[in-house]
Structure 1
Amino acid sequence: MGKSPDEMMAAILRNLPAKTGRDAAAWAILIKAEGPSDPKACARWLKQAHGLGGATAQVLAAHALGGIHDMAPEQRLDKLYEGREALRPIGDRLTALAHGLGADVTSTVLSTMVSFSAGLKFAEAKPAGKGRVDLGLALGREPLPLTPVKTADPSDRITYRIPLASVDDITGEVAAWLARAHARAAATRA
């Protein structure tokens, strides 16, 4: 069985010294001294200025700035979709599809997205403005015959994004790509 979202967030914080050379307290001091005070801007800054991965940057920004890590998962979702409530059904459908892929799937609500993992992150549902949710997929760097947009950041685990403006945009093809990303994570983990 996979870790709960809270266990995953705790593991990210616990593993900071080995991965980054700084513990959560040292990162918090740096963030408060030099980083942006908005959690989303801070996560971007941590990725760009310090080369942290997306999930690590978001958990660390939330931890240092008193963000969503103190909230229950449902409250985190409410905060994520605040002002863009019409997008929540898209995110809820993606979460249901991801969890339907197997008992190994966990989801973590971060300040800017819901991250899906099966030992390794394989997808994310990220509200993009008020008009869409981007389904990000970890499908590697090889060229794929996809409609989705290939991401530009070579350091990001998420390599493709599918923009979804409504629940109806979550077609069988979208579900198949999500399943493919999950299978890829499971194979990499094995």
Structure 2
Amino acid sequence: MGKSPDDMMAAILRNLPAKTGRQVDAWVALIRAEGPAEPKACARWLKAAHGLGGATAQVLAAKALGGIHALTPAERLDKLYAGREGLRPIGDRLTELAHGLGPEVTSAVLSTMISFSAGLKFAEAKPVGKGRIDLGLALGHGPLPLTLVKTADASDRITYRIPLASVEDVTDEVTAWLARAHAHAARG
């Protein structure tokens, strides 16, 4: 299995001084003195005002202010599925399938989804209300079968989605589409 989200966050913090010329404690002090108090707004501010990348900005905002990235992976999963625990088996199955595609696959539990990457993001499992998970897939913009739903935002990597209401909906066809998205990401 690839690096865990905690490993990636630790690496971001460890490499911060070399990349930015500022120690983690100095960033935390700056954020608390000058930045917005809400983690998402703070991450946007760090990107805009200080030119940080998105992952670095999110990790620093969480370090300084708390937020989803300050939680353990288990706590992030609990928060993601709070009030919709019935969807968790679907997400767990998708995570298992994604990690089974290769040792380079990583997953990150974010505030609204689980993101799957293999160098590039190739899929996401996003709870939608209490009734389903949308499996988003990065498959490019070519015409694909009608079993996939085209996403609205053409600028996003995720171009198609498959609504899943139960573990039984995670069929061999869904598994094949997940593998195809993984292969598409591997080609770049």
**TM tier, shorter chain?**
0.7 to 0.9
The secondary structure found in structure 1 opposite 2:158 is coil
Q: Counterparts of 1:154 and 1:9 in 2: how far apart (Å)?
A: 29
Superposed CA deviations along residues 48-106 of structure 1, whole A, max 9, x for unmatched, are xx8xx997887677556511212211111111101100000000000011011111111
Change in 2 beyond 3 A, CA 1:31/1:128 = farther
1:8 touches 1:108 (CA, 8 Å); kept in 2?
no
- Which residue in the other structure is 1:102 paired with? 102
Q: Counterparts of 1:128 and 1:56 in 2: how far apart (Å)?
A: 27
Q: Which runs of 5+ in 2 are unaligned?
A: 20-26
AA of the residue aligned to 1:119? G
TM score, norm. by length of structure 1 = 0.74
How far apart are 1:146 and its partner, in Å? 3.9
Q: Counterparts of 2:160 and 2:31 in 1: how far apart (Å)?
A: 30
The secondary structure found in structure 2 opposite 1:133 is strand
Q: Counterparts of 1:58 and 1:170 in 2: how far apart (Å)?
A: 31
1:149 aligns with 2:116: no
- Which residue in the other structure is 1:74 paired with? 74
Residue-pair matches, total: 172
Change in 2 beyond 3 A, CA 1:143/1:85 = same
Identical counterparts, % of pairs: 74
- Which residue in the other structure is 1:182 paired with? 182
How far apart are 1:166 and its partner, in Å? 0.5
1:2 touches 1:106 (CA, 8 Å); kept in 2?
yes
Within 5 Å, give how 1:25-174 maps onto structure 2. Answer: 29=34, 31-32=36-37, 37=38, 42=40, 62=62, 65-174=65-174
TM score, norm. by length of structure 2 = 0.75
Superposed CA deviations along residues 100-151 of structure 1, whole A, max 9, x for unmatched, are 1111111111111111111111001111111111101011112212412111
How far apart are 1:4 and its partner, in Å? 2.1
The secondary structure found in structure 1 opposite 2:102 is coil
- Which residue in the other structure is 2:3 paired with? 3
The secondary structure found in structure 2 opposite 1:175 is helix
Change in 2 beyond 3 A, CA 1:179/1:142 = same
Bigger drift between 2-11 and 78-87 goes to 2-11
Change in 2 beyond 3 A, CA 1:170/1:69 = same
Q: Counterparts of 1:93 and 1:179 in 2: how far apart (Å)?
A: 14
Q: Counterparts of 1:136 and 1:57 in 2: how far apart (Å)?
A: 24
